């Protein structure tokens, strides 16, 4: 076996899985493959799809060994790792395992060059294995050349394809492959995997630091290991979350905390100063907004008493601070900030000057955050809340019409003169509650279909169903409708608004 010249090997290489059991996060694909191997039902072509770094080529190479190893485990299908075949493949010296990177060999000649040997039996192994990485990069004629062999492959030929863009692989090729979709590896699993390797490397790290690295790797084992390797170069006894944040270019938590506080307090000058400091230290405008959004999400969880999501990235100190900050705001206020920052993030992503755009977002948020909620203001200052109290959830029609007077106003404002006339002169009100009205037909002034018409009108107007019926029981006479504007100004909400904002002029609106 070839010994590495350098004592140091990249983590990704050093810890490349040598057995199916070592591979993380791809249990289903591994089960399908090992079953296929044991039952000899794999077919002559296997295609691995998935994002970068999830283990496509690793799995293809592992499969190449499992296919050809004469001492393969009959149950688990694991290659032995020690026989001549295994060691020659591991050392890239096996003539019967041919690997080609289609990203740099896209042409028909490249494909022909390796396929020309197809008719000849394998030299040393049971199979001739072709591993073609990034297979979607092949040209159309190269795919056609490949297809000829794929249609009638010699029994000893095995194709293993890997691709990040399966949509670019022709249907004719896809239909001849066993397709295995590899999933991005979950954050928890990646963090656990990194922790195992860190232990082997005698690398001490705070547990949350692994989570941070795993998140940044976005499901890629290769990226996770390369990040871990970079972290190992920091060279401290115990790596902290702060070290890792710096490594990843994430802004310092305490600065983010100050920034958010200043913004919520409406201190625009301080907000902009802090934001500029963060950006001058290398934080990207986008990253700052993403972190603000994460903080707002945490604050909402505190407010609605929902559990925090597991892989939370903030330290205990920051969480405590966010909790305090949340208690000074209401759910609508935090939602408003969320809307501003989400919209802002979209703007920053497409902006030619992301930093300027992010400043505008913070200014906008800063001017909105300190505004009190109208609802809270009214509740504090009035009996408005009590007046609304009778509407319980079982009466689901507080949709703008809460009294029979309002029914009449609505008819008036929509110029339903005939219907209004029939009701005021030909009907009596037996009972009213939102969603249900009972009328008594008073003489011949109202046509029989008045309830149906009124029901239709109210349902359309409020968006919820209204039942209107005639009753034999007599009711109260219907008083003619007042001027809508006057009436609206008598409503509790309107009264409160006038009291709170003396001099306010209310438009009755219709
Ligand atoms: Zn072997």
CATH 3.30.300 at 404-489, yes or no: yes
Most confident of 1-15, 25-39, 370-384: 25-39
Instruction: Name the pLDDT band for 479 (thresholds 50, 70, 90).
Output: confident
304 C-alpha to ligand 1 centroid (Å): 58
Q: Which CATH class is domain 187-248?
A: mainly alpha
87 C-alpha to ligand 1 centroid (Å): 7
pLDDT tens across 158-207, in order? 999 999 999 999 999 999 999 999 999 988 899 999 999 999 999 999 88
55 C-alpha to ligand 1 centroid (Å): 21
Q: What CATH code is assigned to 253-368?
A: 1.20.272.10
Q: What are phi and psi of 195, to 5 degrees?
A: -60, -40
498 C-alpha to ligand 1 centroid (Å): 87
128 C-alpha to ligand 1 centroid (Å): 15
Average pLDDT, the chain: 84
pLDDT score for 168: 93
51 C-alpha to ligand 1 centroid (Å): 29
pLDDT tens across 354-406, in order? 999 999 999 999 888 766 666 666 666 655 444 444 444 444 444 578 888 88
pLDDT score for 4: 42
Around ion ligand 1, residues with a beta carbon closer than 5 Å are 69, 71, 79-80, 83, 86
Helix, strand, or coil (residue 448)? coil
Q: What 3 state SS string does 104-116 have?
A: CCCCHHHHHHHHC
92 C-alpha to ligand 1 centroid (Å): 14
68: tokens are: 């050809």
**CA-closest candidate to residue 294, choices 330, 347, 342:** 342
Q: Which residue has the higher pLDDT, 28 or 491?
A: 28
pLDDT score for 392: 44
Domains of the chain, by residue range, sit at 11-181, 187-248, 253-368, 404-489
pLDDT score for 419: 85
Q: Nearest-5° angle of CA 108, CA 114, CA 118?
A: 115
pLDDT at 98 over 70: yes
281 C-alpha to ligand 1 centroid (Å): 53
375 C-alpha to ligand 1 centroid (Å): 73
Sign of CA dihedral 312, 329, 267, 366: positive
71 C-alpha to ligand 1 centroid (Å): 5
- Read off the pLDDT of each residue in 433-460 and give the average, rounded to a whole number: 84
pLDDT tens across 304-359, in order? 988 877 555 677 778 888 888 888 888 888 999 999 999 999 999 999 999 999 99
98 C-alpha to ligand 1 centroid (Å): 17
- Read off the pLDDT of each residue in 482-510 and give the average, rounded to a whole number: 58
Sign of CA dihedral 168, 66, 20, 204: negative
Pairing assessment for the beta strands 436-441 and 467-471 based on DSSP bridges:
parallel
60 C-alpha to ligand 1 centroid (Å): 15
224 C-alpha to ligand 1 centroid (Å): 29
Supply the DSSP string of 177-239, one letter for each residue: SEEEEPPPPPHHHHHHHHHHHHHHTT-EE-HHHHHHHHHHHTT-HHHHHHHHHHHHTT--SEE
Listed range (64-73, 118-127, 406-415, 442-451) with the worst mean pLDDT: 442-451
> Quick one: CATH architecture of 11-181?
3-Layer(aba) Sandwich (3.40)
62 C-alpha to ligand 1 centroid (Å): 11
pLDDT score for 310: 58
């Amino acid at each position: 076996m070839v010994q590495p010249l350098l004592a140091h090997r990249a983590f990704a290489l050093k810890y490349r899985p040598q057995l199916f059991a070592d591979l993380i996060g791809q249990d289903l694909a591994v089960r399908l493959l090992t079953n296929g191997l044991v039952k000899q039902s794999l077919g002559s072509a296997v295609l691995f799809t998935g994002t970068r770094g999830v283990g496509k080529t690793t799995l293809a190479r592992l499969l190449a060994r499992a296919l050809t190893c004469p001492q393969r485990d009959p149950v688990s299908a694991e290659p032995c790792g020690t026989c001549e075949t295994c060691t020659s493949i591991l050392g890239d010296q096996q003539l019967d395992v041919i690997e080609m990177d289609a990203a740099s060999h896209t042409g028909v000649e490249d494909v022909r060059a390796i396929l020309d040997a197809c008719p000849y039996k394998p030299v040393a192994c049971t199979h001739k294995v072709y591993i073609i990485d990034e297979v979607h990069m092949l040209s159309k004629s190269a795919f056609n050349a490949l297809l000829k062999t794929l249609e009638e492959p010699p029994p000893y030929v095995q194709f293993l394809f890997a691709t990040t863009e399966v949509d670019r692989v022709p249907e004719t090729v896809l239909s001849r492959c066993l397709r295995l979709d590899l999933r991005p590896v979950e954050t928890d699993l990646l963090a656990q995997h990194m922790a195992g390797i860190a232990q082997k490397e005698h690398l001490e790290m705070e547990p949350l630091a692994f989570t941070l690295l795993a998140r940044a790797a976005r499901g890629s084992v290769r990226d996770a290991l390369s990040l871990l390797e970079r972290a190992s170069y920091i060279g401290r006894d115990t790596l902290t979350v702060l070290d890792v944040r710096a490594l990843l270019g994430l802004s310092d938590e305490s600065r983010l905390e100050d920034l958010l506080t200043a913004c919520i307090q409406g201190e625009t000058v301080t907000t902009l100063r802090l934001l500029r400091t963060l950006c001058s230290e290398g934080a990207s405008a986008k990253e700052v907004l993403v972190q603000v959004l994460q903080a707002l999400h945490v604050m909402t969880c505190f407010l609605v008493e929902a559990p925090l999501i597991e892989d939370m990235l903030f330290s205990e100190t920051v969480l405590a601070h966010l909790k305090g900050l949340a208690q000074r705001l209401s759910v609508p206020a935090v939602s408003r900030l969320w809307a501003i920052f989400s919209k802002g993030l979209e703007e920053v992503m497409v902006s030619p000057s992301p930093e300027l755009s992010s400043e505008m977002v913070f200014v906008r948020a800063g001017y909105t955050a300190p505004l009190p909620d109208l609802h809270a203001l009214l509740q504090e200052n009035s009996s408005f809340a009590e007046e609304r109290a009778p509407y319980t959830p079982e009466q689901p029609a507080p949709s703008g019409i809460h009294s029979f007077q309002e029914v009449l106003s609505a008819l008036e404002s929509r110029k339903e003169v005939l219907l209004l006339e029939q009701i005021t002169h030909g009907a009596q009100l037996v009972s009213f509650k939102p969603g249900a009205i009972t009328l008594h037909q008073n003489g011949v002034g109202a046509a029989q279909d008045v309830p149906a018409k009124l029901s239709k009108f109210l349902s359309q107007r409020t968006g919820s169903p209204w039942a209107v019926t005639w009753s034999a029981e007599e009711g109260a006479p219907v008083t003619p409708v007042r001027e809508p504007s006057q009436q609206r100004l008598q409503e509790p909400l309107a009264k409160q608004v006038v009291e709170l904002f003396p001099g306010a002029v209310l438009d009755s609106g219709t």
